[in-house]
A and B are shown apart, each in its own frame.
Chain A
Amino acid sequence: MKSFDGTLAVQPKKRVDIWGLLIGLVLIIISLVCLLPFVHVVAKSFSEDAFVIANKVFLWPKGFSVEAYKKIFADQSILRSFYISVIVTVLFTFIGMVITILAAYALSRQQLRWRTALTMIFTFPLFFHGGIIPEYMMINNLGMLDTIWSLILPLAFSSFNLIVMKSALSSSIPVSLEESARIDGAGHFRILWSIVLPLSKPIIATLSLFYAVGRWNSYQDALFYIKQNTDLRPLQLKLYYLIIQGSESFQLEATQVSLSNPEILKASCVVFATVPILLIYPFIQKYFVQGVMLGAIKE
């Protein structure tokens, strides 16, 4: 604490708040560090070979060209991966939310017996799990290897999201509202559907975003579970082989020799895979800050 005394001398009620300005400046720099790498890749993806090879592209495209994107949209296997990712993400988010909402509603009701024990059952997997081999064998036993369900069902429940949802439900739904509904003869299905759901939009939007982003971005389970059936590779796994391993080439590469700079292709793949997330993000942002806060404040 003593060490801050020196700075106090600068503080007292001056017109210009030097520390305030400095903090703002530091934040601007850190924010730019978060943004600029992505801008650089976007710039590269729209540039012409010659400029990229000559290392001339930084934050603005040079010799504007969409050739790389044309190539991506001409590659059937990438489009299929994109399509798989979209289907998997939508189904996963839907199923995940249904389970989370049902569990959170039941566990947040005072009338539920064995509430603590049941909550423990749902949250314990957060701290201990079987590990990837037992899980792999389970998926195998269920006959889900190399099917789309291996990417949807095993991870569709998240203990973390349940905890957030549960504390949001217990803090944001007035008990009196529920009681009066019960007096009017409403059952739990009715209360859940007509009272709880409409009142929980922010948290539902937030957790849907969590589920969707998590599913869209992960590739580990696809790497394990999608072995033979390459048609089922989601986009991120496809990109893993394409970009990181550099082992799979674009189908049309042999015929289109004119466009041979992989750097540009990689850059456009990055943009191609990121745009869907960036498109939903602004719509949900106002919800999720609110939503996370609801969930974060302790019961």
Chain B
Amino acid sequence: MSISNSLRQDWQLYLILVIPLCFVILFKYAPMTGLVLAFKDYKIAKGFWGSEWVGFDVFREIFSKPDFALALRNTVMLNLLDLVFSFTMPIVLALLLNEIKSVKFKRMNQTLLYLPHFLSWIIIGAIAYQLLGEGSGAINNAIASLGGNRVPFLQEDTHWLISYLFIGVWQSMGWGTILYLAAISGINPEMYEAAIVDGAGRWRKIWNITLPSIRFTIITLLIMNLGKVMEGSFERIFALQNKATTEFTTTIPVLVYRWGIESGNFSRATALGLFQAIIGLTMVLLADRVAKKLGEDGIF
């Protein structure tokens, strides 16, 4: 069918697509033109077009900042640790949930496990201080009443890091099980029946049937997560940070905010954001390549 024929017959289809397309172009693609600021010395007085081109000077400048090195280290470290804990926990949890036969019990557990996902980071931050605060947090109160010493869960760098990771796992583990459970529900039951006939027990079935069957989901999500290694949640850090713990809270998103929105250095913040976005995209593409080399499907 020729293009004009197709347009005539399905003009409504193209009309339907107009609004979403305009939306995406305006709010997702148009801002990308602003990335040229990373290569300019942006002065508000001179405006967007009037500001001078400086090539890679802005990048050279930010790479030499001590804050940058710190932010880079923290971002990579926090996100890799998150990947180890927050990524694996939902898999484990989904495998455990799948072992539950009572539908009622399973659903009740899921409802409770999903709960933290529906709380905002502000609320989670507030709850964290109510529970883990050194002076009046419930957990420290319990420790103290049992005769132990109060622990600075959120008021000392290393403790803060561990709390930060734990809170991340807490918030996301239940929700993360949904996709895995969906994948598990698609497994052909005959495989389990055959395994039982062959004398396989619970763990053998998990190891030899369930896990390989959800491998595709695991790898897809892993690739997507690798793309976020440079990102990390601004909201999460911002809600959990405090003056007593500054060692790990300077991350790239936080630095972009400080340089850009707080101090108004748009060029520097844009360059940092671009650096972050490019690494993110590269990681996704690389991970996808590696996955394909290893004989997996990948996401593209």
Using Cβ atoms and an 8 Å threshold, which residues of chain A touch B294? none
Flag if A296 contacts B126 (CB, 8 Å).
no
B120 touches A4 (CB 8 A): no
| A217 & B170 in contact (Cβ 8 Å cutoff) | no
Q: How far is the CA of A284 from the CA of B48 in the complex (A)?
A: 46
Q: Determine the chain A residues whose CB is within 8 A of the CB of B49 once the complex forms.
A: none
Using known A-B contacts A31-B112, A137-B31, determine if residue A131 contacts B127 with beta carbons closer than 8 Å. no
B284 contacts chain A at the CB level, 8 A cutoff: yes
Please state if A37 and B234 are interface contacts (CB–CB under 8 Å): no
* Residues B12-49 near A (CB distance < 8 A): 12-14, 16-17, 19-21, 23-24, 27-35, 37, 48
Among B60-68, B70-78, B254-262, which stretch is in contact with chain A? B254-262
Distance in angstroms between the alpha carbons of A218 and B121 in the assembled complex: 8
State in angstroms the CA–CA spacing of A240 and B126 once bound together: 9
B70-115 interface (Cβ within 8 A of A): 93, 96-97, 99-101, 105, 108-115
CB-based contact B31/A156 at 8 Å: no
B208 neighbours in A (Cβ, 8 Å): 1
| Interface pair B276/A153, CB less than 8 Å apart | no
Q: Which of A26, A133, A217, A218 has the most CB of B within 10 A?
A: A133
Contact between chains at A121 and B203 (CB < 8 Å): no
A84-115 vs B, Cβ < 8 Å mask (1 yes, 0 no): 00000000000000111011011101011100
**Is B182 located at the chain interface by the 8 A CB criterion?**
yes
Does A31 lie within 8 Å of B109, measured CB to CB?
yes
List the one stretch of A65-73, A252-260, A270-278 in contact with chain B.
Answer: A270-278
A50 CB-CB contact with B under 8 Å? no
Quote the shortest CB–CB distance from B148 to chain A (angstroms).
14
Contacts of A8 in B (CB 8 A): 201, 203-204
Q: Within the assembled complex, what's the spacing in Å between the Cα atoms of A48 and B31? A: 51
Task: Report Cα–Cα, A192/B13, bound state, in Å.
Answer: 10
Once bound together, how far apart are the Cα atoms of A281 and B110, in whole Å?
13
Query: Which chain B residue shows the least CB distance to A31?
Result: B112
Contact A263-B136, Cβ < 8 Å, known A106-B13, A111-B6, A131-B273: yes
| Residue in B closest to A98 when the chains form the complex, CB atoms | B19
Within 8 Å of chain B (Cβ to Cβ): is A19?
A: yes
Is B170's CB under 8 angstroms from A130's CB? no
Cross-chain contact B118 with A38 (CB below 8 angstroms): no
Provide the residues of chain B in CB contact with A34, threshold 8 Å. Answer: 112-113, 115-116, 170, 174
Q: Across the interface, do A292 and B182 meet the contact criterion of CB distance under 8 Å? A: yes
**Any chain A CB within 8 A of the CB of B277?**
yes
Residue numbers in A under 8 Å from B19 (CB-CB): 98-99, 102
In the complex, A27 Cα to B181 Cα: how many Å? 15
Contact B126 A243, beta carbon cutoff 8 Å: yes
Q: How large is the interface on B (under 10, 10 to 19, 20 to 34, 35 or more residues)?
A: 35 or more
What's the dominant secondary structure at chain B's contact region? helix
Q: Which B residues are CB-close (under 8 A) to A109?
A: 10, 13
Q: B100 to A138, Cβ gap below 8 A?
A: no
Question: Interface size of A by Cβ–Cβ distance < 8 Å?
Answer: 96
Interface string of A206-221 (1 = CB under 8 A from B): 0000000100111110
> Is the Cβ of A293 less than 8 Å from the Cβ of B27?
no
Contact of B235 among A58, A98, A219, A292 (CB under 8 A): A219
Tell yes or no: A231 within 8 A of B by CB.
Answer: no
A201 on the B face (CB < 8 A): no
Using CB atoms, name the residue of chain B closest to A26: B96
Within 8 Å by CB of A292, from B21, B29, B34, B179, lies B179
Contact A131 B270 (CB under 8 A): yes
The residue of chain B having its C-beta at the shortest distance from the C-beta of A189 within the complex is B12
C-alpha spacing A122/B183, complex, angstroms:
25
CA distance in complex: A113, B29 (Å): 22
Whether B28 pairs with A157 at a CB distance below 8 angstroms is yes
Whether A273 contacts B123 by the Cβ 8 Å rule is yes
What is the CB-to-nearest-CB distance from B128 to chain A, in angstroms, rounded to a whole number?
A: 8
Task: Decide if B161 is an interface residue (CB 8 Å cutoff).
Answer: no
A137 x B34 contact (CB < 8 A):
yes
Min CB distance B282 to A, Å, is 10
What is the CA–CA distance of A127 and B173 in the complex, to the nearest angstrom? 23
- Say whether B235 contacts A55, CB under 8 Å: no
A63 on interface, CB distance cutoff 8 Å: no
A residues in contact with B130, CB < 8 Å: 37, 40-41, 44, 263, 266-267, 270
Q: Report the bound CA distance from A4 to B10 in whole Å.
A: 59
Q: Are B31 and A270 in contact (CB under 8 A)?
A: no
Contact B16 A37 (CB under 8 A): no
The interface centre, meaning the residue of B37, B182, B185, B238 with most chain A CB atoms within 10 A of its CB, is B182
Q: Is the CB of A133 within 8 A of B260?
A: yes
Verify A129–B28 contact, CB threshold 8 A: yes
Q: Which of A37, A41, A105, A137 has the most CB of B within 10 A?
A: A37
Asked if A102 contacts B37 (CB within 8 A), the reply is no
B218 in contact (CB, < 8 A)? no
B138 close to A (CB within 8 Å): yes
Give Cα A32 to B113, complex, Å: 8
| Cβ contact within 8 Å between A157 and B24 | yes
Question: 28 A-B residue contacts at CB 8 Å?
Answer: A1-B208, A4-B207, A24-B105, A30-B173, A31-B112, A34-B116, A34-B174, A41-B126, A55-B145, A107-B17, A125-B24, A125-B28, A128-B32, A130-B31, A133-B34, A133-B37, A133-B273, A156-B23, A223-B261, A240-B122, A244-B238, A267-B126, A270-B130, A278-B118, A289-B178, A292-B178, A293-B182, A296-B183
Nearest first, the 7 closest Cβ-Cβ pairs linking A and B are: A134-B34, A131-B273, A217-B120, A130-B31, A103-B20, A11-B201, A188-B12
Having A41-B126, A217-B120, one finds 4 other A-B pairs with CB under 8 Å, namely A34-B174, A103-B20, A157-B28, A267-B130
